[in-house]
Amino acid sequence: MNTPQGGPPPGMPRGPQKGGRGFGPPGKGGPGRPGQNIKKGTLKRLIDMLFQEYRKALTLVIAGMVIVALVGTAPSVFIEKIASVITAGITEISKNGYTEKSQYIQVYKELFPSLFKIILVMIFVFIIGLSASLMYNRMNAVITQGFLYRLRKKVFAKMQSLPVKYFDTHNHGDIMSYYTNDIDSLRQLLSQALPNVISSGLTIVSLTFIMLYYSLWLTVTVGLGVAVMFRVSKFIGGNSAKYFMKQQMALGKTEGYIEEMINGQKVVKVFCHEEESKRDFDKLNNALFEDAKNANRFANILMPIMGNIGNILYVLVAFAGGIIAINGLANPSLRALFGGEKILTVSVIVTYLGMTRQFCQSISQVSNQINAVAMALAGASRIFEILDEESETDEGYVELVNVTERNGMYAESLVRTGNWAWKHKHGDGSTTYTPLQGNIVFDHVDFGYVPEKTVLNDISLFAHTGQKIALVGSTGAGKTTITNLINRFYDIQDGKIRYDEININKIKKNDLRRSLGVVLQEVNLFTGTVLDNIRYGNLDATDEECIAAAKLANADDFIRMLPDGYKTVIKGDGSDLSQGQRQLISIARAAIANPPLMILDEATSSIDTRTELIVQKGMDALMKGRTVFVIAHRLSTIRNSDVILVMEQGRIIERGSHDELIAKQGTYYRLYTGAFELK
């Protein structure tokens, strides 16, 4: 399939798109779509970001977790102490042959101070654990929401720095999914999954040392069971993670398609595309269902399997402990190593069974968080992909500044004067100011959206201050591409573009774009008042200046007829307004910017002839005294242009005024007289 000359390559729309994909069946995603696997090092990078933002707070949270984990293992030690005291009482009763109730009571009265001391210590320890738990949970909630807040800001700031090419090649609904599904998946990780994993991990480590303190053989028995649990967890968790990543990808595609269909609902209705849209949605929804089903199937079977392995291990520990105790077998342990008991007592077995259950529960807790961790890492992996995208580079150093003029000399002004100049700092430390005039020169420019496919060939043109340059040609001839190069949405491969005799590569992109006004065929209005939408072209403009711009654009009459006039709130991209009214607001927005150079890209092609006359009057007022590039299929709108450039397959094949081109009786003549139509 050949790429039309002058247009972007397949998969890259030629202008601002809302859906980014069209109304065809679900595709496999455009260039740059995130991969299907979680990137290596994602968790480490996430934790590094957390510590960069909240190092001190996280240190306190981890300290709290350590205290809670140690307190969580304390009952095992206390149970062993209590069991030892009770066993000592039973031994004394048996040894002395006590049979009377009063004798039993006397024995336990003597033992009560020891029991009471242990209980007091337990209460004190549990109070410490409760305080630590309250502290770290409250701090963790603040850290989680704060981190997500900062991350959203980072992603949005990054998005603002990306080149137009990124948005031309990525589905807009999928980009929205970064802010919703992907970032929200991190909330579950940070608020629950990660704290549970760390807390359970600390509990496991603590229990391991306590187990080794009491019995090596029983610890080995538990270790074998845990090895089986880890093996099962790795297999099931790995499959769960794989499908959770696919689920996040499928969710992004589905949301992208829904967003596209909502924006294009009128087109869907007009072309009776409802059934086809439903079939396409069903394909995406079915893919999401399958991935979600597989992910949750593995996640849901994990806990029952782990729980039953824990029950089997509990029985095995009881069996092994009983054999060792009954037969009086050697019981190597850390306690024996330091001169403590060398035999396995009933109190130790009872304690060990409790520790075994707690150990298995901790392992299960870790395993149970695999699905949340997998989903979060899938989301984090996608988030890091957009954060790692290459930002729009700007090597320019020439700035646009307000100036005052006196005797032909220019000086920079800190207040708005309405006079603009290019501030050029030279290598020798000197600074010169070039008045902003709006002269544009293309000098043998070659360009392609991809290096191997040139769409503009040897383009040379010039536009002097106040000239109106019209670009004419069939769709894909390269007209919009030329205006995209003036804005530096894309950079050329060869040749030069000069703006007021300055190479535009030397001008800072923001300053370059501030000097341009653009009116597109597709109007984007934002939620807010009419004044807010006009002021979008100049945020410093007063209400009076916005109203003056609306009058200049011929929009004042219809705006005053709105329910609240200029205070009327626009919603839904101005769907309550006609196309002509939306376009007039767009023209007023360009007028308030007061740029010396205007680009009008098919600004009247989608409105009726009567409305076009109103809009044309607004544009004529706007174009007065400015350099203007006009792209139009309606040749009647460009008759009064100073120069008309006829383009075909990325080349300028004719140039001249309307009368000159008619006299030549070439391509323009045939277009104008209807010998053949623009396609």
What's the CATH code of the domain at 190?
1.20.1560.10
- Does 118 lie in the same domain as 66? yes
Token pair in block for residue 543: 């209400």
- State the average pLDDT over residues 48-75: 85
Specify the range with the lowest mean pLDDT, choosing from 241-255, 312-326, 524-538, 652-666. 241-255
pTM of the model: 0.67
- Stretch 114-120: mean pLDDT: 83
Closest CA to 188 of 372, 362, 48, 360: 372
- Check whether residue 71 and residue 86 sit in a common domain: yes
Tell me whether residue 8 is in a domain: no
Number of domains into which the chain is organized: 3
579 neighbors 606 (Cβ within 8 angstroms): yes
pLDDT tops 70 at residue 279: yes
Cβ-contact 403, 411 below 8 angstroms: yes
**Position 216 confidence tier, pLDDT thresholds 50, 70, 90:** confident
Q: Which string of b and e fits 174-188 if b means at least 16 CB within 10 Å?
A: bbebbeebbbebbbb
156 within some domain: yes
d(CA 496, CA 329) in angstroms, rounded, equals 91
In a domain, 495, yes or no: yes
477 close to 6: Cβ distance less than 8 angstroms:
yes
Q: Which has the closest alpha carbon to 487: 512, 505, 507, 469? A: 512
Question: Is 7 a domain residue?
Answer: no
Contact 89, 223 (CB under 8 A): no
Contact predicate 574/582, CB 8 Å: yes
pLDDT value at position 607?
60
Which CATH number does the domain housing residue 509 bear? 3.40.50.300
Q: Indicate whether 374 and 414 sit together in one domain.
A: no
pLDDT digits 0-9 by tens, 406-463: 877 888 887 777 788 899 888 888 888 888 888 999 999 999 888 778 889 999 998 8
Domain membership of residue 474 (yes or no) is: yes
324 and 463: one domain?
no
Same domain? For 428 and 298 the reply is no
Do 376 and 463 fall within a single domain?
no
Task: Classify residue 18: in a domain, yes or no.
Answer: no
In this predicted model, what pLDDT tens digit does every residue of 242-276 receive, in sequence order? 777 788 778 878 877 887 787 777 677 766 778 88
| pLDDT higher than 90, residue 26 | no
Bridge partners for 496 per DSSP: 443
Residues 535, 411, single domain; the answer is no
Write down the residue that tokens 């050697």 correspond to: 330
Cα–Cα dist 433/425, whole Å:
9
Kindly state whether residue 118 falls inside one of the protein's structural domains. Answer: yes
2 domain residue, yes or no: no
Same domain, 411 and 557: no
Express each pLDDT in 456-504 by its tens digit.
999 999 888 888 898 988 878 888 889 889 988 888 889 999 999 999 9
Domain that holds residue 192: 42-388
Q: What are phi and psi of 273, to 5 degrees?
A: -95, 15
Identify whether the C-beta of residue 378 lies closer than 8 Å to the C-beta of residue 245: yes
Is residue 14 classed as helix, strand or coil in its secondary structure?
coil
Instruction: Give yes or no: residues 426 and 539 share one domain.
Output: no
Render 343-409 in DSSP notation, one character per residue.
S--HHHHHHHHHHHHHHHHHHHHHHHTHHHHHHHHHHHHHHHHHHHSPPPP----BEEEEEEEETTE
Q: Taking 90 as the threshold, does the pLDDT of residue 103 lie above it?
A: no
Write down which residue in 409, 435, 461 finishes a domain: 435
Is residue 231 located within the same domain as residue 278? yes
Query: Do 335 and 425 reside in the same domain of the chain?
Result: no
pLDDT at 675: 47
Q: Is a pLDDT exceeding 70 seen at residue 13? A: no
The phi-psi region of residue 430 (left if phi > 0; otherwise alpha if psi is between -120 and 50; otherwise beta) is beta
Question: In terms of domains, do 208 and 222 share one?
Answer: yes
